[in-house]
Structure 1
């Protein structure tokens, strides 16, 4: 089950900055065979954003300078982790899906 909480703090001076915190299973298990991880985000409906980072381990995603974000809109967000092994084989992408509802966190 994933639960999403919007945390709009004054942590960032950029207008529109917000943090998505969620409880979810780790997207991957880091091992000695892991060489790199490339994260991608799909947000529906889309918003214009330059995200500062995807901290899967910390169960949070930080967006900075997000334009078009509304606290009154339900969002569906999908995070995909692309993992490569030392042998160069691309492993199956792992995905975390979660959404934010204005009234209550979406749990599924």
Structure 2
């Protein structure tokens, strides 16, 4: 009977399988992986520092101002849509509709109100 991993079945092609596998001492700061990690982390920190926008940067001030304006605009639109939603009949207020659904329902409801008058 032939063993599954006999040397005749699988050739090692010159690999030295009897040697101890390489290992790194993680507790030692002089080991290669730690030094590589440390260098990589150091490079990442330096890149972040060089690309991090400062609050005095005109582009950053413009971006923050734009973000604040956009946030205020969305808040106003949401408040107005909520007001429209409250003007709809109670059966349409059972669940919160999306903005397009609310506007669509209001556009259908206005002619209904005009027809009742």
Fold agreement, TM-score > 0.5 = no
Higher relative contact order (CA 8 A, sep 6+): 1
Question: Which protein is richer in helix relative to its size?
Answer: 2
- Largest Rg, 1 or 2: 2
Question: Which protein is richer in strand relative to its size?
Answer: 1
TM bucket (normalised to shorter chain) is under 0.3
| TM-score computed with the length of structure 1 as normaliser | 0.18
| TM-score computed with the length of structure 2 as normaliser | 0.17
